[in-house]
Amino acid sequence: MGEPYDFIIADCPPNLGMLALNAAIACPEILIPVELAPLAMAGALSLRRYLDEVREDSQEKLRVMGVLGTFYAEGEKKPREALELLTKIFGDKLFATHIHESAATRDASGQGAPVILRKPKDRAALEYSKVVDEVLSRGAPTSGKEVPRG
């Protein structure tokens, strides 16, 4: 019997507790959203070290599939600096797509619904669709199978 899903997402709170550890071991391909703000950069560095330690301690095949910059405010200096730092930390793991700040995203979150369903033409909704394309293009190498596109 084949596997019924190509991807399963375990969304964890932004901390390095037991839930994140268990999710990292259960889901060896990791997508890391990082808010493009100065304080979040320290968290990104900590997470990188944490994942390296988990990989060593557990002998698991953890892989950072990608890093997603979120809440990008165009024209501001700090988000651009954060993107540059993320590139230094994660290299080619940084996704080309970044999620821009959007009132529609905040509204959808407050209503407990995906922005792509609430406001499908919003810039952030279109960017999230591009993130899906990037995830699919990076495939699922730990499963040994090609992920179908379509």
For 28-62, what is each residue's pLDDT tens digit? 788 889 988 888 888 888 888 888 887 777 766 77
The 10 Å Cβ neighbour count of residue 115 is 23
Q: Which of 91, 89, 10 is nearest to 44 (CA)?
A: 89
For 84-141, what is each residue's pLDDT tens digit? 989 988 899 999 999 998 899 889 988 999 999 999 999 999 999 999 999 989 865 5
Query: Is position 109 within any domain?
Result: yes
Query: Is position 5 within any domain?
Result: no
Count up the domains in the chain and report the number.
Answer: 1
Angstrom distance (rounded) from CA 63 to CA 55: 9
Which segments of the chain does DSSP mark as H helices, in order?
18-26, 38-58, 77-90, 103-110, 115-118, 123-138
Query: Is position 145 within any domain?
Result: no
The owner of tokens 């993320």 is: 86
- Residues of the domain holding 61: 18-140
Query: Is position 4 within any domain?
Result: no
* CATH number, domain containing residue 42: 3.40.50.300
Burial bucket for residue 139 (CB in 10 Å: 0-12, 13-18, 19+) = middle
Query: Is position 56 within any domain?
Result: yes
Query: Is position 97 within any domain?
Result: yes
Q: Which of 68, 59, 20, 12 is nearest to 40 (CA)?
A: 68
